[in-house]
């Protein structure tokens, strides 16, 4: 198998300052929260070795994040605890601190010869990196590690749909779908006197940051960490991957990898997943190709979307045809109407939708096909498309473990017509693709899905 350390297209120099004399090289870990298959980490190790310095890995938990929930914070910290242990087993000091990411990185960077960071595509992630690059006195390098093909290599603009980005991604796969080799650190940095949080007590760390405690942790269903991600992936490949091509849109079949939350926090690499799927003998070629379509094409379409769309989290991001048809039908009579609180409490006439909402609220997860159905009904049942957009995005980002991901913003926008085409005109939806109760029954067995969700909700209630 082809093996390469770091492709040059993953590396971007964020300022023109020199690599200077310092006490260490800093890898500011933010998006890629893992010790395995992490291009930014391996690049930082190589740089530390080249300059005969020690490496310090720094992670900053933003203490003023108004949208972070206890559910998401717990999952992230479970993963960071494991990542810290794995990195330090390699002789590399890893420090976790609470505070302003820019302030903490710049403070630690005062003694650094070089700062290496990974890449994120959301607005605040870009702003953090730009600010750090402008304020620290040393060189700053960004290494892209959470997509298979670097976003800027694929396209220089927002792609219209999966069909337009697919051939561009596929033309680069042979170059980038290669295993990442690891490099041993030459200078042990465990003696560095750089203090941080003690991750053996996660509750004490949570107390130091602002989190929404009304959304509880769901560790009885999903625990954060690379080892948990790898275990889930192993179960998927050895089990339901062999039915994925035919059953991935059937929510009752549970033909799922459960990778989305681990990918969101960077606890597993999409490259590592893709290589495991590609090299597996499980299932048919169609099963493997169907999964890689979701992992590579659909996921990296989402990264393209947020990277090239400034208003990716607003109704204004929608294509003109979608906003025009929704405007034409904004005053149409709704057969059913629900308030936000009724939606949150799953108090609608639709037992399938209620089950989906309960699955999200109690477990932090929802089958992808039900996510689409869930969002389409919010559009059908609320006063205006703009309000529906706000509610769908707010609930998505609040309750899902993978909320606030690039996929979150792209998926909610898809509900309202983004990355899609016009369909036959109908009330409320106009030409935007609908999803109906009867359509769900024709294509799957949603009653079986409801039964499974009810069992999980009972389990969550017993745990509480």
What CATH number should be reported for the domain holding residue 350? 1.10.579.10
DSSP 8-state secondary structure symbol assigned to residue 10:
G
Establish if 323 belongs to a structural domain: yes
Q: Burial of 333 by CB count in 10 Å (0-12 exposed, 13-18 middle, 19+ buried)?
A: exposed
How many helices (H) and strands (E) the chain has is answered by 22, 8
Helix (H, G, I), strand (E, B) or coil at 58: strand
**How far apart (Å, rounded) are the C-alpha atoms in residues 354 and 136?**
50
**Tens-place pLDDT, residues 140-197:** 999 999 999 999 999 999 999 999 999 999 999 999 999 999 999 999 999 999 999 9
Residues 6+ apart with CB under 8 A from 135: 102, 106
Establish if 367 belongs to a structural domain: yes
Confidence of residue 1 (pLDDT cuts 50, 70, 90): very low
**How far apart (Å, rounded) are the C-alpha atoms in residues 181 and 149?**
17
Establish if 430 belongs to a structural domain: yes
**How far apart (Å, rounded) are the C-alpha atoms in residues 268 and 287?**
21
Closest to 378 measured CA to CA, from 344, 423, 422? 344
Which bin fits 447, alpha (ψ -120 to 50), beta or left (φ > 0)? alpha
pLDDT of 24 > 80? The answer is: yes
**C-alpha atoms less than 13 angstroms from C-alpha of 236 in its C-beta half-sphere:** 21
- Assess contact for 44 and 25: CB atoms under 8 A: yes
Establish if 211 belongs to a structural domain: no
Residues 119-124, mean pLDDT to the nearest whole number: 98
Which bin fits 38, alpha (ψ -120 to 50), beta or left (φ > 0)? beta
**Tens-place pLDDT, residues 356-369:** 999 999 999 999 99
- Assess contact for 43 and 182: CB atoms under 8 A: no
Establish if 345 belongs to a structural domain: yes
Angle at 38 between CA 112 and CA 2, to 5 degrees: 125
Mean pLDDT value across the chain: 96
pLDDT of 105 > 90? The answer is: yes
- Assess contact for 213 and 310: CB atoms under 8 A: no
Name the domain count of the chain: 1
Q: Give the CA dihedral 273, 77, 117, 189, nearest 10 degrees.
A: -110
**How far apart (Å, rounded) are the C-alpha atoms in residues 46 and 39?**
11
Establish if 362 belongs to a structural domain: yes
pTM, whole model, 2 decimals? 0.97
Taking the mean position of all CA atoms in its chain, how far away is CA 422? 28
**How far apart (Å, rounded) are the C-alpha atoms in residues 376 and 385?**
11
Establish if 134 belongs to a structural domain: no
Q: Is the dihedral of CA 183, 187, 189, 192 positive or negative?
A: negative
**Tens-place pLDDT, residues 396-450:** 999 999 999 999 999 999 999 999 999 999 999 999 999 999 999 999 999 999 9
Establish if 327 belongs to a structural domain: yes
According to DSSP, the β-strands at 93-99 and 3-4 are unpaired
**Tens-place pLDDT, residues 35-65:** 999 999 999 999 999 999 999 999 999 998 9
Cβ atoms within 10 Å, residue 294 = 16
Residues 6+ apart with CB under 8 A from 276: 233, 237
Domain that holds residue 346: 315-463
Q: Which helix (H) or strand (E) holds 192?
A: none
């Amino acid at each position: 198998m082809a093996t390469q350390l770091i492709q040059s297209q993953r590396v971007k120099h964020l300022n023109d300052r020199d690599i200077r004399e310092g006490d260490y090289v800093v890898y500011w870990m933010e998006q890629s929260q893992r010790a395995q298959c992490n291009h930014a980490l391996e690049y930082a190790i190589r740089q530390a070795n080249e300059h005969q310095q020690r490496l310090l890995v720094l992670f900053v938990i933003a203490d003023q994040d108004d949208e972070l929930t206890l559910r998401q914070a717990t999952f992230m910290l479970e993963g960071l605890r494991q990542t810290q242990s794995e990195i330090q087993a390699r002789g590399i000091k890893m420090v976790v601190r609470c505070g302003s990411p820019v302030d903490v990185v710049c403070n630690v960077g005062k003694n650094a010869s070089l700062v290496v960071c990974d890449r994120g595509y959301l607005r605040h992630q870009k702003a953090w990196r730009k600010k750090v690059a402008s304020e620290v006195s040393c060189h700053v390098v960004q290494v892209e590690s959470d997509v298979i093909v670097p976003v800027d290599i694929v396209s220089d603009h927002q792609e219209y749909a999966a069909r337009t980005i697919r051939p561009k991604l596929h033309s680069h796969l042979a170059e980038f779908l290669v295993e990442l080799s690891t490099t041993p650190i030459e200078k042990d940095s465990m003696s560095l006197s750089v203090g941080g949080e003690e991750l053996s007590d996660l509750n004490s760390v949570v107390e130091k940051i602002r989190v929404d405690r009304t959304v509880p942790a769901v560790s009885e269903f999903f625990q954060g960490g690379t080892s948990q991600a790898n275990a889930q992936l192993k179960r998927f490949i050895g089990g339901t991957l062999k039915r994925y091509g035919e059953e991935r849109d059937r929510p009752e079949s549970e033909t799922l990898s459960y990778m989305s939350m681990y990918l969101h926090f960077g606890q597993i690499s999409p490259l590592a997943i893709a290589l495991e799927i590609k090299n597996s003998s499980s299932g048919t070629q169609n099963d493997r190709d169907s999964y890689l379509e979701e992992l590579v094409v659909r996921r990296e379409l989402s990264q393209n979307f947020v990277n090239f769309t400034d208003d990716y989290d607003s109704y204004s991001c929608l294509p003109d045809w979608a906003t025009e048809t929704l405007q034409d039908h904004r005053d149409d009579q709704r057969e059913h109407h629900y308030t936000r609180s009724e939606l949150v409490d799953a108090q609608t006439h639709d037992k399938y939708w209620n089950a989906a909402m309960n699955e999200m609220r109690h477990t932090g997860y929802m089958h992808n096909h039900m996510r689409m159905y869930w969002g389409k009904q919010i559009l059908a049942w609320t006063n205006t498309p703009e309000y529906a957009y706000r509610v769908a995005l707010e609930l998505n980002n609040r309750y899902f473990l993978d909320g606030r991901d690039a996929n979150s913003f792209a998926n909610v926008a898809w509900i309202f017509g983004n990355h899609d085409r016009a369909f036959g005109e109908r009330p409320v939806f106009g030409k935007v693709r609908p999803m109906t109760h009867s359509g769900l029954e024709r294509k799957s067995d949603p009653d079986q899905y409801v039964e499974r969700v009810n069992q999980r909700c009972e389990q969550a209630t017993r745990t509480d």
